[in-house]
Amino acid sequence: MMNGMPILTLLTVLPIVGAGIALVSGRHARLVAMLTTLAGLAISLVVWTHLPADGSMGFVERAAWAPSLGIEYHLGADGLSAIMLVLSSIVALMSIDASHRVHRQPNLYFALVLLLEAGLFGSFTAQNFFHWFLFWELSLIPAFFLIKLWGGAKRGPAATQFFVYTMAGSVSLLIAFLGVFLATGSMDFEHLTLLASTGELAQMVTAHLGNVMPWLALGVLAGFAVKTPLMPFHTWLPAAYSEAPSPVTMLLTGAMSKMGVYGLLRIAVPLFGHEYSVMRTPLLVLAVITVVMGAWAAAAQKDLKRVFAYSSVNHLGYCLLAIFALAVPATSTAMQNSQAAALNGVILQMFNHGVTAAALFWFIALIQERSGGIRGIDDFGGLRKPAPVFAGLMGIALFSSLGLPGLNGFPGEFLIFRGVFPLAWVAATVSVLGLLITAAVILTVIQKVFAGPVPERWSGENSSGFADLHTGERLALAPVIGLMLLIGILPQLIVDGVNPTVMNLLAHWRF
Amino acid sequence: MLAWTIYLSFAGALLEALLPQRGPGSKPALARWVALLVALAGFALAIAGYAAGMGQGRMVITDAAWVPAMGIHYLLAADGISRVLVLLTGLAAVAGVLFSWNVGHRTNEFFAFFLALIGGVYGVFLSFDFFLLFVFYEIAIVPKYFLIAIWGSTRREYAAMKLALYSFAGSAMVLVVLLAAYAAAGSHTTSLIGLSHAGLPVHLQMWAFPLTFLGFGILAGLWPLHTWAPTGHVAAPTAASMLLAGVVMKLGAYGCLRVAMTLFPHGMDPWGFSFLGIGSWRSVFAVLAVIGILYGALVALVQTDFKFVIGYSSVSHMGFVLLGLMTLNQIGLDGAVLQMFSHGVLAGLLFAIVGRMVYDRTHTRQLAELEQMQLSKRLPFAAWAFVIAGIASMGLPGFSGFVAELQVLIGSWTANPWWTATAGVGIVVGIAYTWRALQKAFFSDAPPAPHLHEHGHELAAITWPEATGFALLGLASLIVGLYPRILLDSIEPAVKALLAGGMR
Amino acid sequence: MNYIDLFRVTLPETALEAAALLVLIVDLAFLRKAAATARTGVAAVLGVAGCAVSLWAVYSAGSASLSFGGDLLLAGGGAAAVAEIGILVLTALTLLLIDSGFTQHPGEFVAVVLMAASGGLIIAAAQDLLVIFAGLELLSIGLYILTAFAKTSAKSAEASIKYYLFGGMSAACLLFGFSYLYGLAGSTNLHEVALAAVTSFGSGSPLFYVALVLVVVGLGFKVAAVPFHLWAPDTYEGAPAPAAAFIASVSKVASFALLIGIAAAIRHPFGVVHGVIRFVMAHSGPMPRWLGFEMPWTIVLALLAAASIKIGNLAALAQTSVRRLLAFSAVAHAGYILLALAWFSQRGAESILYYILTYGLTTIGAFGVVGVVERATGSDTMDSFLGLHKRNPVLAAVLLVLFLSLAGIPPLVGFWAKFNLFAAVLAVGAGVWPFILVCFAAAFSAVSLYYYLQVLKRAYVMPVVDAAPIRVHPVTLIVLLAITAAVVVCGCFPALLQNWIAGFYPTM
């Protein structure tokens, strides 16, 4: 703990200031963004390493803001927040690294990236709804413009769809949360979680507003379901992910989609755990559909970006599956252990998916640089011959995504299934289908892109061929691949930090 | 101190009118600077008055017998609500002058009418005598007519006349109520406080309340009497539409609050029967407000004229004010007053961008034509200014609109959850129309028009008054959004006093 | 009564008549060869001097009244004094605004104006049917002549003939009604007649009501209430501008002063001391609420008022001639005032006086502007006001203030007058009907803004067609500015004029 220093405020303000500097620094904006994000990563790591051992909130900052509205300046970070901060910093760094091809208005581009980063930092550290919502929405604006101004051919509709869907979700969330505020007079997550854990929240809401708890629960869920996404609220995602420039897609899938899951864990489940346990079956059905259909849809895609977009739906579907599965009153220690395993798995999966998905989209960016924008799954073949290092590194990332043991994708999914099987075995069993399809999809990609004959396009006399990674790119990618291996081998690096928080969270959740 | 805002504005108007009109003696620059100085002085007084009034209740500024035989007093006073709105007026006046810097046609007359309008608005917000309030209210109507009719654009004469007649019809209703209340209270006072303590009979309140609310509500854009607003806003010159949306619509809402609701609180009592779930005037107006929110937003969604989008958005946003008023609880009323401020600032900003930054340069407001102009590249300042104003206006947290609409939604929930739910849909549509306009006007991918890069089609750079005005309004919204207490600390006690004293 | 008393009380009228003769003599005897402007100037100055002397006489007479055989002939003080002063001031202003263009005989014009004004003074104070009729005819005949004074203009002659025919008809009705009243009441004194109507209540003759209707026809013509307003637009349009201004202001003031006198008699038939004693001797117990003439009087006037407000305002919407517009707006304004006469009270009387004096002032100013514009453009259509703000900004500003005042926009005096009037109507507390009619009037006064703005729109807004400056005679300009200043000052400080009016009434 570092007392006295408003380190979380500092962390949030840093990218905003950086954005301002980037805006006026012209060509050097990328450097500014890089340095700012590195500093952010450093601070995030400090936070991650200095958390309270009991899993409670550290680095707490409180100040009066607008008391009559229940608005307080309240920041804090526990293991969940801190790992998300670290993830955001890493993904942002990767994205900035991958953005070296942005030549049009680079100052604006990097300023927006930094603003998006501020949104992430802010929402992952907020402990008051107002503050959280501020940054939740703030992140949306830069994301919109990053898609809109630097995206692909159909960027306009994609950006709008993304924006309107997410905003509609936000309004639903806002109105539902207003109900909570109306009944309790508080917007403080900590306070509300305590109220919910004793059942008082439900009583107060019922007393003030009548029998609306399920509606509030659904309203809040809708906001997160769009963001994560949960089928059928996902339709904005493929367009947005594929039309956005790849570095931006990295941010969207690597970090922003985590805001949804984070929100579920920080707001929705603590407040409405009981309601979700009541409607657990339909929710599980949706989660399973997300898992399976996400994978299936990925199998049907011809565009690499869309393949990975749907595969992201599938991967985050596991998180949703686990969260809904653990929403059940624990009647035994075994069940508690399963819940803990599932929740640990969720957090681990968030981190891992963030890193892996970001890496995969980075590789797509590299492919597009070489292919002149072509990224159809059938346009390539036999790339391992001309570009063995590329194929090798991307292969690692792909296998991580597939969930190969020894790579970072595995421990998260393992823990999730370890937890979900005892809690909801039917759902878990059906979801395994998703695992299988994903494996098939990834293997197909590997086969079509890396194996087989090299098409005319890349081997013909007039083509420059498919260049392998050059040194700079190798150096940039190496730490990421290293991280995948590291987490794959030593998942406890994260689990040990997260577990106390998981226990602490579960202790306050009432189903 | 605050009273001088009124006198100063009128004196400024007179001075402008007396400046040499035309010929070699006329100096438009002088007229501009005089107007700016007067507006700045008013703003400074408003700030000083606001700061001095912090933590105080209602303060009487001037109280002189005006027509002793009839008990009419020249009574100026200010409570927290008045002070906030006076502050808004000062801000809007300064911004309005800044965004009118390029008015070259009959410059001094323009600023004379402008300052006269401002003076009337200050007067309404500071009057605590019904008669005096009405006088200032009417004073504000006439300059509006001329500002639009002389310096306006599309169908300006029609729009100006429509606006004037709607306003005057509304004020005729108010006049009738004023006369009736005065007679019913024994013909010896027109002071708002005196009348509210006169124990006006309930049956009188029952019809006087809706009539007053309707009369003032016309100016506040109450659906279905809002139709003057979009045409008026569109036709008006930039500064006038800024003032129209920024402060004049607030006059209506303020009248609803200060007169209709405090003088005739029993008018909001239940009728004793209900029809379609509507059982009192209160629910009638709340439903109209909600319809206004939704209708304004939906209509804004399909407009082809950029300024019409903003015009209808004003109807929608003012719906929140009226809905907040009809919640009749602390938080809803707080929200309504805050929304008055917020919408005043943001609508001003939006109109400034559309009217001054875009229209004055492109000479078109058709979204279809703007789409081909690639304005995000050619006018990046305007584009990003609109992004900021737009996200503030659609109610994103961090800007004033969010806090205000939040409170209104909370307040209306306790009154009737359906109002909140419908208003929530309105917010979503609001996001959609703002975003649609933003994309079409600035960030469109449509192929550029062929003549775009020819010589003579360069757009003038953004000038310093525009940038200053933008900074002023944008910062105001941001500060209030991030630190709403700066206004709420003044609004809350005033609303509390209102609720505690008479008004339910 | 003796002739000394008579002379003392009628000194104001006498002064005016003397001035009229003086003007004629000077003009005919000394100035036959002089230029038209000089003749006009001298005549106007002498006329104004006559008004000043008359004014002094009114003040010095105080509240002296004239009786004959115990019956009041001419009232002093109160409404009569206020109206007389108003008539004199307005007459003086009219004279100052006379331009020399329309006639070769300015002296005669001024003399007729003064004589008509003396007729106005008489009816303002008249308390006897015969005096009323004599005064009215003195005024009316003067007005017929004034209307026809532009001898080269066919319109002027036509207007005069119309005015004369309508006027003659209505005078006949009035006289017929008066003769019935005399026959029924046995007296020509207003209070006696009203008292007779009260005392014969229940057993009285329906002829009282017939007589009342006939009287209302005659007086309705004078104030141009609907349906007796048809002369007004033509007369306003055809008469020379000063004559029209005189008709619109002085004649209105005098007529409404007369109506106040009649209404006061009807509302308070026992208002005169000996009347009370007689009534109390004849009856005991409280007065029933609707006695004598009061109910039919209220109904008839309310109907006239409503019709005037509606027709006046609606017809004004369709006009393209500013003079006709002013004529119809005058009909509407008469309608507002009739409301206060229908539900009459002491306060109502004060508010009517306030209204009619300020209305007269504003209208004279408006006709002054119209006259100037007409001389410059040769027409009084709305389009002749195009670009006035450029051609003469001061004149445009005067027009702006005066028309907005007529529309009832605060802080100008027209608003206060209207407010005061409506407040007085409601203060009578006679139930729901006055309130409904006030609502009606307020709604139509919102409509009236439209046509006033039509003129102002041309003056300020619409594209300038002819930018040639319009020159205004300095005297005219000063008078117009003075009127404008009065309209603004009285509007901002309504208590000034109101207290002045109230000061003429005995404290109650």
What is the pLDDT at residue C278?
A: 46
Percent of chain C at pLDDT > 70 equals 89
Give the other-Cβ count within 10 Å of A239's Cβ.
22
Highest averaged pLDDT of the listed ranges A408-417, B332-341, C103-112, C386-395? B332-341
- Phi, psi dihedrals of residue A395, rounded to the nearest 5°: -60, -45
Residue of B nearest to A148 (CA): B443
Determine whether the interchain pair B179/C446 forms a contact, defined as Cβ–Cβ distance below 8 Å. Answer: no
Residue pLDDT, tens place only, B127-142: 988 888 998 988 888 8
The mean pLDDT of A132-139, rounded to a whole number, is: 87
Mean pLDDT, chain B, whole residue set: 84
Contact between B431 and A167 under an 8 Å Cβ cutoff? The reply is yes
**Would an 8 Å CB–CB cutoff place B485 in contact with chain A?**
yes
C-alpha–C-alpha distance, residues A138 and B452, integer Å? 34
C-alpha–C-alpha distance, residues A132 and A265, integer Å? 13
> 3-state class of B61 per DSSP?
strand
Confidence of residue C201 (pLDDT cuts 50, 70, 90): low
Determine whether the interchain pair B169/C443 forms a contact, defined as Cβ–Cβ distance below 8 Å. Answer: yes
Residues across chain A: 511
What part of B 396-415 touches A (C-beta under 8 Å)?
396-398, 403, 406-407, 409-410, 413-414
C-alpha–C-alpha distance, residues B133 and C290, integer Å? 38
Residue A131 CB contacts under 8 Å (≥ 6 apart), including other chains: A65, A71, A73, A74, A75, A122
Confidence of residue A495 (pLDDT cuts 50, 70, 90): confident
C-alpha–C-alpha distance, residues B231 and A337, integer Å? 66
Which of chain B's residues have a Cβ under 8 Å away from the Cβ of C420? Answer: 70
Structure tokens at A70: 């229940």
Determine whether the interchain pair B135/C390 forms a contact, defined as Cβ–Cβ distance below 8 Å. Answer: no
Of A15-24, C327-336, C401-410, the poorest mean pLDDT is in A15-24
What is the pLDDT at residue C175?
A: 92
Q: Which residue has the higher pLDDT, B188 or A469?
A: B188
Residue pLDDT, tens place only, C89-121: 999 998 888 876 777 788 888 899 999 999 998
Determine whether the interchain pair A182/B435 forms a contact, defined as Cβ–Cβ distance below 8 Å. Answer: no
Determine whether the interchain pair B484/A134 forms a contact, defined as Cβ–Cβ distance below 8 Å. Answer: no
**Would an 8 Å CB–CB cutoff place C392 in contact with chain B?**
no
C-alpha–C-alpha distance, residues B349 and B481, integer Å? 15
Determine whether the interchain pair C422/B179 forms a contact, defined as Cβ–Cβ distance below 8 Å. Answer: yes
Which of chain C's residues have a Cβ under 8 Å away from the Cβ of B131? Answer: 419
Residue pLDDT, tens place only, A240-254: 888 888 888 888 888
List A147's β-bridge partners, or say none. none
Angstrom distances, CA of residue C94 to CA of A329, C46, C47, C479: 97, 13, 10, 10
Using a CB cutoff of 8 Å and minimum separation of 24, what contacts does C151-156 make?
C151/C103, C153/C102, C153/C238, C153/C240, C155/C237, C155/C238, C156/C238, C156/C239, C156/C240
Contact between B111 and B31 under an 8 Å Cβ cutoff? The reply is yes
The mean pLDDT of B209-213, rounded to a whole number, is: 89
Res C283 pLDDT > 60? no
Confidence of residue C272 (pLDDT cuts 50, 70, 90): very low
Residue pLDDT, tens place only, A436-474: 888 888 888 888 877 777 776 666 666 666 677 777 777
What is the pLDDT at residue B66?
A: 84
Contact between C184 and C207 under an 8 Å Cβ cutoff? The reply is yes
Determine whether the interchain pair B142/C393 forms a contact, defined as Cβ–Cβ distance below 8 Å. Answer: no
Residue pLDDT, tens place only, A62-78: 888 877 777 888 888 88
Res B163 pLDDT > 50? yes
What is the pLDDT at residue C289?
A: 43
Report yes or no on chains C and A touching (3+ CB pairs under 8 A). no
**How far is the alpha carbon of C344 from chain B, nearest alpha carbon, in Å?**
15
Contact between B277 and B293 under an 8 Å Cβ cutoff? The reply is no
Burial per residue of C125-159, b for 16 or more beta-carbon CB atoms within 10 angstroms, e otherwise: bbbbbebbbebbbbbbbbbbbbbbbbeeeeebbbb
What is the pLDDT at residue C290?
A: 44
C-alpha–C-alpha distance, residues B355 and B298, integer Å? 22
Burial per residue of C323-351, b for 16 or more beta-carbon CB atoms within 10 angstroms, e otherwise: bbbbbbbbbbbbbbbbbbbbbbbbbbbbb
Residue B270 CB contacts under 8 Å (≥ 6 apart), including other chains: B279, B280
10 Å CB burial of residue A171 (0-12, 13-18, 19+) is: buried
Confidence of residue A409 (pLDDT cuts 50, 70, 90): confident
C-alpha–C-alpha distance, residues C217 and C165, integer Å? 14
Nearest to C435 among B139, B157, B180 (CB): B180
Determine whether the interchain pair B413/A179 forms a contact, defined as Cβ–Cβ distance below 8 Å. Answer: yes
Which of A357, A364, A372 lies closest to A449 in space, CA to CA? A364
Which of chain B's residues have a Cβ under 8 Å away from the Cβ of C446? Answer: 165, 168-169, 171-172
In C342-458, which ranges are E strands? none
Determine whether the interchain pair A141/B391 forms a contact, defined as Cβ–Cβ distance below 8 Å. Answer: yes
DSSP per position, B209-274: HHHHHHHHHHHTT-TTS-THHHHHHHHS-HHHHHHIIIIIHHHHHHHIIIIIIHH-GGGGSEEEEE
Give the other-Cβ count within 10 Å of A303's Cβ.
15
Determine whether the interchain pair B414/A160 forms a contact, defined as Cβ–Cβ distance below 8 Å. Answer: no
Structure tokens at A95: 């994205």
Which of B384, B387, B402, B411 lies closest to A135 in space, CA to CA? B402
Residue pLDDT, tens place only, B220-259: 888 888 888 887 777 878 877 888 888 888 888 998 888 8
Angstrom distances, CA of residue A291 to CA of A312, A410, B445: 10, 16, 35
Which ranges of B105-201 would DSSP assign to H, the alpha helix? Answer: 107-126, 130-139, 141-151, 156-184, 192-196
Percent of chain A at pLDDT > 70 equals 97
C-alpha–C-alpha distance, residues B280 and A428, integer Å? 55
Q: Output the CA torsion sign for C249, C251, C252, C254.
A: positive
C-alpha–C-alpha distance, residues A86 and C40, integer Å? 98
Res A257 pLDDT > 60? yes
The mean pLDDT of A340-366, rounded to a whole number, is: 86
10 Å CB burial of residue B458 (0-12, 13-18, 19+) is: exposed
Structure tokens at C316: 């004004």
List C189's β-bridge partners, or say none. C128
What is the pLDDT at residue C363?
A: 92
Partner chains of A (3+ C-beta pairs under 8 Å) = B
**How far is the alpha carbon of C377 from chain B, nearest alpha carbon, in Å?**
23
How many helices (DSSP H) and strands (DSSP E) are in chain B? 24, 4
**How far is the alpha carbon of B426 from chain A, nearest alpha carbon, in Å?**
10
**Would an 8 Å CB–CB cutoff place B439 in contact with chain A?**
yes
Partner chains of B (3+ C-beta pairs under 8 Å) = A, C
Residue pLDDT, tens place only, B96-134: 888 888 777 788 888 888 899 999 999 999 998 888 899
Contact between B323 and B423 under an 8 Å Cβ cutoff? The reply is yes
Res A4 pLDDT > 80? no
Contact between B228 and B330 under an 8 Å Cβ cutoff? The reply is no
C-alpha–C-alpha distance, residues B473 and A95, integer Å? 35
> 3-state class of A44 per DSSP?
helix
Determine whether the interchain pair B183/C420 forms a contact, defined as Cβ–Cβ distance below 8 Å. Answer: no
What is the pLDDT at residue C152?
A: 82
**Would an 8 Å CB–CB cutoff place C450 in contact with chain B?**
yes
C-alpha–C-alpha distance, residues A23 and B380, integer Å? 13
Confidence of residue B455 (pLDDT cuts 50, 70, 90): low
Cis amide bond preceding B224, omega within 30: yes
Res C288 pLDDT > 50? no
Which of chain B's residues have a Cβ under 8 Å away from the Cβ of C495? Answer: 65-69
Mean pLDDT, chain A, whole residue set: 83
What is the pLDDT at residue C43?
A: 85
Residue B218 CB contacts under 8 Å (≥ 6 apart), including other chains: B166, B167, B169, B170, B225, B228, B252
Res A382 pLDDT > 80? no
Question: Domain segments of chain B: what residues?
Answer: 3-500
Confidence of residue C274 (pLDDT cuts 50, 70, 90): very low
Which of chain B's residues have a Cβ under 8 Å away from the Cβ of C496? Answer: none
Contact between A390 and A368 under an 8 Å Cβ cutoff? The reply is no
What part of B 133-192 touches C (C-beta under 8 Å)?
134-136, 138-139, 141-142, 145-146, 149-150, 157, 160-161, 164-165, 168-169, 171-173, 175-176, 178-180, 182-183, 187
Determine whether the interchain pair A171/B427 forms a contact, defined as Cβ–Cβ distance below 8 Å. Answer: yes
Cis amide bond preceding C227, omega within 30: yes
Residue A431 CB contacts under 8 Å (≥ 6 apart), including other chains: A287, A288, A291, A292, A317, A318, A321, A417, A420
Q: Give a three-class secondary structure readout of C244-255.
A: HHHHHHHHHHHH
Which of chain C's residues have a Cβ under 8 Å away from the Cβ of B139? Answer: 409-411
Res B154 pLDDT > 80? no
Res A2 pLDDT > 50? no
- Interface ipTM: 0.83
Q: Which residue has the higher pLDDT, B459 or A298?
A: A298
C-alpha–C-alpha distance, residues B377 and B355, integer Å? 19
Determine whether the interchain pair A167/B492 forms a contact, defined as Cβ–Cβ distance below 8 Å. Answer: no
Confidence of residue A491 (pLDDT cuts 50, 70, 90): confident
Nearest to A182 among B394, B414, B483 (CB): B414
Which of chain C's residues have a Cβ under 8 Å away from the Cβ of B161? Answer: 450, 453, 457
CA atoms within a 13 Å half-sphere pointing along the CA-CB vector of B495? 23
What is the pLDDT at residue A194?
A: 84
Residue of B nearest to C415 (CA): B135
Confidence of residue B504 (pLDDT cuts 50, 70, 90): very low
What is the pLDDT at residue C282?
A: 52
Question: Domain segments of chain C: what residues?
Answer: 302-508
